[in-house]
Structure 1
Amino acid sequence: MKATGPTPDLAGASSAEADAFFSYPAKLARSVSAVPGDGSTVNAMMLTYSPPASGADGNALWTAINKELGVNLELNLVPASEYAAKFATVMASTALPDSMLIMNTVSRARDFVKAKCADLTDFVSGDNIKKYPNLANIPTASWEAMGRIDGRIFGIPLTRPKLNTAQFHVNRTKLDALQVPADWSQQDFLDAMKALKKEGSYGFGIDSSTAYGAGYFAGAFGAPQGWKLNKGAFTSAYESDEYVAALEFARQMYSDGYYHPTSSSGSLNDIMNLYYNQEISSTVGNFFNFAGGTYVTRVGGAFQTDVAVPFGSDRTSWMGSGVYGFTAFKDAPAERIEMMLRLCDYLAAPYGTTEYELLNYGVEGVHFTRSDGGLTPTDLAKTENANSVPVKYMSCAPMIIQVADDRAATERAFAVQSQLVPAGISDPSVGLFSATAEKSGAALAQTMNDTAAGIISGRQSVADWAAAIADYKNSGGARIADEFAASLTANS
């Protein structure tokens, strides 16, 4: 079901792909006809990656959102790094927020949701979802990725496109000077790294949390993402020949001196500053940092930044799950749940609507000015914006592709999406449940990540990978595989 909004200049081939728009629409649509709230106070718990606003009082954006929603929205904003610990405390409490962002980083979250949160199945399944057209506009893949609990729906997914993942970003100006083709092969890639080193620069850099980009290279080599599903049985991607080949490839890159030294200990900010300053010519970053214009803006014309296709012959890369997390509601009478759904419906209004404009850009004349070229933020928008008042973590619209004032970059991003999504590799465990994965999955993955980093940097041998896999399986990996298989059967 398509919600109200402008026709995209480039429409994604499926709901898993983002639409693209060349410019901000001159005329906006209205997607919600009536005030959704009932005048009550609604407490919503969510995370934030930015310094949070102190409250609605004195905050023009928050005040405007409350007025539009027709409620007193109280945001319980928790720094992202503290969210899992804070939510564990909330789960043990008898006083729950009205809405809560549920993340897979919280142990036993599903048990909590089943026991204390509202079952939304009868409100949003079948034709009932038509009462909330913006929620109906959330792609099916996101609802599926959220998963069900005992076959029931307990949340509203925070939708993400499938290509909302780590992709390769390059200094196209430098690569063009070296005559490196855009549709490169693995040998073209290595030749470029060698030529850049010969010039006295580094071809590649990546933040230290990624095990030297092992996951990206595994996807380029065609390794399964997370798990391989065959006749109902799950096998870890770590066991695939493609994953080992990717480790060997990255190990040789490291040995040849193609990695910037900061890759061993640097943060994402450290690496991106190296990229912006042209001290490295490529890195791995989220696709939408290019497709949304962040990288283009930061480069500022110093060079042409581009998103590159994987160098593998099949152009494979790992896809996103289609969901960031989901919002669950405290159990309440039906009238209250319907009101909460109307609030989420408003917050999910698509691009090109008055609701979307308010939530993402603020109030005209206060947070931005309008012209034929689009919207220009005011100084107030530096502190009052969609990051400081992040209602997008309660409900949100599908993302779009748009590099402001750069049609060529917008077209490029859309073309790469059109090429990569059909060839993408998805994790077959998405939407399934494993108690062991919920409890120990992150720690097991970190151990494998550390081993991968050791192999790539030469501190460990490739032969150590087999022992690491055996330990992974004995420490819980085998149980996770069995539990995913059981969950798949239960949900079939």
Structure 2
Amino acid sequence: MSGSSSFVRSGVSRRGFLGALGVGASALTVGGLSGCGSAEPVPVQEASVSSAVLPTHVPVEYATPDIPSVKGSIPGYTTWPSSVTRAVPTPPGDGRTIKAMTPLWGTIPDAEGNQYYAAVNELIGNTIEFQITDGNVYGDKLATVLASPRDVPDWVSIPGWNFPPRFGSEIVGNVFADLTPYLAGDAVKKYPHLANIPTDAWKMCVFNGKLYGLPYPDSIVRDAIYYRDDLMEELGITVSVGSAEDVLALAQEVTDPSRNRWGAEDMWNAAAQMFGVVPEWGLVDGKLLNRVETEQYRAALDWTTKLFASGAVHPDAVAGQTGEAKQRFQAGRSLIMPDGVGGWHEALRDNLASNPTYSQRPFDPFPATAGGEIVYWKSPGAGMFSFIKKTDDTSMIEQILAAADVLAAPFGTLEFQTINYGVEGVHWEAGEGGVPKPTDLAPKELQPTYIFLADPPVVEAKVQYPGYVEEYCGWMQKVAEHAQEPPLYGMQITEPAQYASIGQPFTDLEADIPRGRKPLSALDDAIATWKASGGEELRAFYQNLLDQQ
């Protein structure tokens, strides 16, 4: 279940981290490509992560996975547990009210008389009083709240893409509590479910040498390239892909405009993944290069241009109407598309009832060129975080950490079941195989709120879709064999604000070059402009961070 129930997380749709929950995210933010040239000096930043500030990792398990994790892949459960364990038998809270601010990509539930809130708060022993804001405007709300520290709630969820300017350099230490004394090293053992969270996730919570955040753990990769295997089979095609050229040939082969069928959607994200384009900065022969300077980036642009020129891309995607890509793909009007790994189970949820033979699968790992190296860049260990307001009241910090420990209880516990599905007989009934089936009340009261404050490591247990868990976890294991850490992996970096827009031309080129509106040579001009506008200074900034490692 990718860490949570399908109806809990189905509304989440933010590119980037939330791509793992269903939205493609290979179009990663270009680290170092986000600013406007300026004569301001580039500040020196301490970004190396000392092991001394990281919590000791102590795995805990309440249900043994049927498919174990391999090199960081997602573990899977092919059967639903017949019973669950109450991981924290005595609620740790002292009855106080804790104000919490979270985003929500869905309908905000009414707190009055909400039986879901009551049930989770009972497990915690405190009342979490939510201040929920539409996720699409959450960044604006955060900026307003953080500008007045006195108005900051006790506990605040902050997606990484909503970090305001100078968050790491000026805001985090002035507004939020340093959790290093409470969680570093063996201190975390007081909170066993927080100790169960992988170290890579905690690394992303370190700012300027101190531990400030609680992580929302991520999967080892966030994206896949899917194809409609059911429709390919109907066409008599056996899918066997060994290079990017094979994908291009397959897209051309299945394209038939007379049948309203095209080979692919906009595949720029897929091309970046196929060619191993580094997320931000890469090392080539010992030199630090931005992703746009690499041959892989150029090759991905060139391949995508060939795809568009072949006529295999759906006309609506050519016209830039990418927001409906999933609908076209699921309707069979296009047969190949990139998406977040969570998009797989969401497609099954949305289509199997009306189309029992519906099936999509990700391509197995393959190199960009036949016989070449297969490259998958690991996603950061966490992309969303929560922070505790700075206070002299240490009991408040300890109470929030105790609540977080309850919220981080993993699969196989009563806490996990309640947080993700609510109360049995109220929000869910046992369906086929014991899988919780939501009642009509569930979507009205139960929305993803607590999970953005603390969450356990990701698992997959959507056994309601026959064969899905086995296929998903098997694919993840194959990918994990090729996963690599990019330079500066696990470092929370606040980029100098003066470079907040110099990368925009590349975002534009990623749309313009494939569609033939600009030649590939325009990339050279854009790189030259980027260097002159501050790119070289930014390179020095990142080189300093790399040297610290």
Aligned partner of 1:132 in structure 2 is 191
Mapped contact 1:432–1:488 kept (Cα < 8 A): no
- Identity %, equivalent residues: 25
- Number of aligned residues: 476
2:382 to 313, 317, 323: 323
1:381 to 430, 442, 448: 442
Tell me the CA shift for residue 154 of structure 1.
0.8
Aligned partner of 1:246 in structure 2 is 300
Mapped contact 1:359–1:386 kept (Cα < 8 A): no
**Matched residues in 2 for 1:136 and 1:438: separation?**
34
**Matched residues in 1 for 2:199 and 2:493: separation?**
22
**Matched residues in 2 for 1:101 and 1:197: separation?**
45
Aligned partner of 1:208 in structure 2 is none
* Higher fraction of helix: 1
Mapped contact 2:156–2:453 kept (Cα < 8 A): yes
Aligned partner of 1:46 in structure 2 is 102
Tell me the CA shift for residue 480 of structure 1.
3.1
**Matched residues in 2 for 1:33 and 1:223: separation?**
48
Aligned partner of 2:137 in structure 1 is 82
Aligned partner of 2:127 in structure 1 is 72
**Matched residues in 1 for 2:315 and 2:213: separation?**
44
Aligned partner of 1:299 in structure 2 is 351
Greater displacement, 226-235 / 46-55: 226-235
**Matched residues in 1 for 2:284 and 2:97: separation?**
49
Aligned partner of 1:166 in structure 2 is 223
Q: Secondary structure of 1:379's match?
A: coil
1:345 to 368, 383, 405: 405
**Matched residues in 1 for 2:495 and 2:126: separation?**
40
Q: Secondary structure of 1:204's match?
A: coil
**Matched residues in 1 for 2:497 and 2:61: separation?**
38
Tell me the CA shift for residue 143 of structure 1.
1.1
Alignment of 1:77-226 (within 5 A): 77-93=132-148, 94-105=150-161, 106-110=164-168, 111-144=170-203, 146-163=204-221, 165-176=222-233, 177-198=235-256, 200=258, 201-205=261-265, 212-226=266-280
Mapped contact 1:107–1:439 kept (Cα < 8 A): no
**Matched residues in 2 for 1:184 and 1:175: separation?**
17
Q: 1:4 to 1:403 in 2, by over 3 A?
A: closer
**Matched residues in 2 for 1:439 and 1:385: separation?**
42
**Matched residues in 2 for 1:226 and 1:267: separation?**
26
Aligned partner of 1:456 in structure 2 is 514
Aligned partner of 2:314 in structure 1 is 260
**Matched residues in 2 for 1:233 and 1:125: separation?**
34
Q: Secondary structure of 2:348's match?
A: helix
Aligned partner of 1:367 in structure 2 is 427
Tell me the CA shift for residue 296 of structure 1.
1.6
> 4+ residue stretches of structure 1 with deviation over 6 A?
none
Tell me the CA shift for residue 302 of structure 1.
4.1
Mapped contact 1:315–1:420 kept (Cα < 8 A): no
**Matched residues in 2 for 1:253 and 1:61: separation?**
49
Q: 1:268 to 1:53 in 2, by over 3 A?
A: farther
Mapped contact 2:460–2:473 kept (Cα < 8 A): yes
**Relative contact order: is structure 1 or structure 2 higher (C-alpha 8 Å, sep ≥ 6)?**
2
Alignment of 1:261-276 (within 5 A): 261-264=315-318, 270-276=324-330
Alignment of 1:471-482 (within 5 A): 471-482=529-540
**Matched residues in 1 for 2:286 and 2:95: separation?**
50
**Matched residues in 2 for 1:396 and 1:455: separation?**
41
Q: Secondary structure of 1:456's match?
A: coil
Q: 1:125 to 1:233 in 2, by over 3 A?
A: farther
Tell me the CA shift for residue 88 of structure 1.
1.1
**Matched residues in 2 for 1:401 and 1:180: separation?**
28
TM-score (norm: length of structure 1): 0.91
Mapped contact 2:160–2:385 kept (Cα < 8 A): no
Tell me the CA shift for residue 409 of structure 1.
2.1
Tell me the CA shift for residue 456 of structure 1.
0.5
1:36 to 86, 92, 117: 92
Mapped contact 1:23–1:404 kept (Cα < 8 A): yes
Deviations 1:157-179 (A, max 9, x none): 1111112x121111002223342
Q: Secondary structure of 1:383's match?
A: helix
Aligned partner of 1:486 in structure 2 is 544
Q: 1:431 to 1:416 in 2, by over 3 A?
A: same
Tell me the CA shift for residue 78 of structure 1.
1.5
Tell me the CA shift for residue 363 of structure 1.
0.3
Mapped contact 1:47–1:80 kept (Cα < 8 A): yes
Tell me the CA shift for residue 86 of structure 1.
1.2
Q: 1:305 to 1:299 in 2, by over 3 A?
A: farther
Greater displacement, 105-114 / 39-48: 105-114
Greater displacement, 130-139 / 227-236: 227-236
Matched, 1:13 2:65: no
Deviations 1:243-301 (A, max 9, x none): 111111110100111111222456665111111111111111111222xx212222312
The amino acid across from 2:341 in the alignment is F
**Matched residues in 2 for 1:435 and 1:139: separation?**
23
Mapped contact 2:230–2:359 kept (Cα < 8 A): yes
**Matched residues in 2 for 1:239 and 1:408: separation?**
42
CA-based RMSD: 2.2
**Matched residues in 2 for 1:386 and 1:246: separation?**
39
**Matched residues in 2 for 1:150 and 1:460: separation?**
42
**Matched residues in 2 for 1:280 and 1:188: separation?**
17
| Structure 1: gaps of 5 or more residues | 206-211
Aligned partner of 2:46 in structure 1 is none
Matched, 1:278 2:332: yes
Greater displacement, 216-225 / 264-273: 264-273
Tell me the CA shift for residue 482 of structure 1.
2.4
Q: Secondary structure of 1:337's match?
A: helix
Q: 1:296 to 1:356 in 2, by over 3 A?
A: same
Q: Secondary structure of 2:106's match?
A: coil
The amino acid across from 2:186 in the alignment is D
Mapped contact 1:225–1:427 kept (Cα < 8 A): yes
**Matched residues in 1 for 2:202 and 2:231: separation?**
42
Deviations 1:429-464 (A, max 9, x none): 3443554356645x4444311112100100000000
Deviations 1:14-59 (A, max 9, x none): 3x3211011221111222132122211111112111121132x121
